[in-house]
């Protein structure tokens, strides 16, 4: 990001990205508890942010691992004792979710046990060969770009993570671990605004989205 600050603490219009993200879950009547997985050196800062901002639904701030998958596992372990029926896994640097998307994901997860928001690929997608040439042009009709929050039956996701850890499998998202169990994961229409902020260009785009949505977002 070209900054010595961790990207989740960078500000959008005077508010840390992670706080903008968490506020959507705090305000949703469908969310009971929140667990945040962070790097060890960010624990204190996140704990102070939670306290200062009145995020009453945050029940755990846990130490994340080297990979995203390790961090999600830490969160699942922390929440396991609460006997939750469903869980949503979300990227802390996706601040443009809203209550409507949370509701749609929860609804599909309740009915089908696994749900992932996604948007259709806008560009033509090429599959490359080993030598860097084009091996195949893929049809966009069936190509979707996965987002978060991804929603699951809690025990189903926990089992998927247990199996992946036992087999040394590393997935690119939570749904890929559930797919390995032979379970169907339903796609839910996401939003092109639901970006993951990972580069300086993303931050500029986020600022533009925020300006456009300002009358509707605090």
Supply the pLDDT for residue 1: 59
Supply the pLDDT for residue 4: 74
Beta bridge partners of 38: 63
On whether residue 20 sits in a domain, the answer given is: yes
What CATH code is carried by the domain that includes residue 124? 3.90.550.10
Would you say 103 and 88 are in contact if contact means Cβ atoms under 8 Å apart?
Answer: no
Range of the domain at 177: 7-216
Q: How does pLDDT run across 12-68, given as a tens digit for each residue?
A: 989 999 999 999 999 999 999 999 999 999 999 999 999 999 999 999 999 999 999
On whether residue 137 sits in a domain, the answer given is: yes
Supply the pLDDT for residue 217: 54
On whether residue 132 sits in a domain, the answer given is: yes
CA angle 95, 118, 85 (to 5 degrees): 75
Sign of CA dihedral 20, 174, 79, 42: negative
Q: How many CB atoms are closer than 10 A to CB 146?
A: 17
Residues of the chain with pLDDT under 50: none
Sign of CA dihedral 112, 114, 119, 123: negative
On whether residue 129 sits in a domain, the answer given is: yes
Supply the pLDDT for residue 213: 82
On whether residue 1 sits in a domain, the answer given is: no
Q: How many domains does the chain contain in total?
A: 1
On whether residue 212 sits in a domain, the answer given is: yes
Supply the pLDDT for residue 130: 95
On whether residue 2 sits in a domain, the answer given is: no
On whether residue 44 sits in a domain, the answer given is: yes
């Amino acid at each position: 990001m070209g900054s010595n600050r961790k990207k989740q603490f960078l500000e959008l219009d005077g508010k840390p990205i992670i706080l903008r993200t968490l506020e959507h879950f705090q305000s949703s009547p469908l969310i009971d508890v929140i667990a945040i997985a962070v790097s060890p050196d960010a624990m204190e800062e996140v704990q102070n942010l939670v306290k200062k901002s009145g995020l009453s639904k945050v029940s755990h701030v846990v130490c994340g691992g080297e990979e995203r998958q390790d961090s999600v596992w830490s969160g699942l372990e922390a929440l396991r004792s609460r006997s939750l029926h469903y869980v949503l896994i979300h990227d802390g640097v996706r601040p443009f979710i809203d209550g409507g998307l949370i509701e749609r994901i929860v609804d599909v997860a309740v009915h089908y046990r696994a749900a992932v928001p996604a948007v259709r690929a806008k560009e033509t997608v090429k599959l490359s060969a080993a030598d860097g040439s084009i091996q195949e042009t893929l049809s966009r009709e069936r190509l979707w770009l996965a987002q978060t929050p991804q929603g699951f039956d809690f025990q189903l996701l926990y089992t998927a993570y247990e199996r992946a850890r036992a087999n040394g499998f590393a997935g690119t998202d939570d749904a890929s671990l559930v797919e390995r169990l032979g379970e169907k994961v339903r796609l839910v229409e996401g939003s092109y605004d639901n970006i993951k902020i990972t580069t300086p260009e993303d931050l500029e785009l986020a600022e533009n989205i925020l300006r456009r949505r300002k009358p509707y977002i605090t």
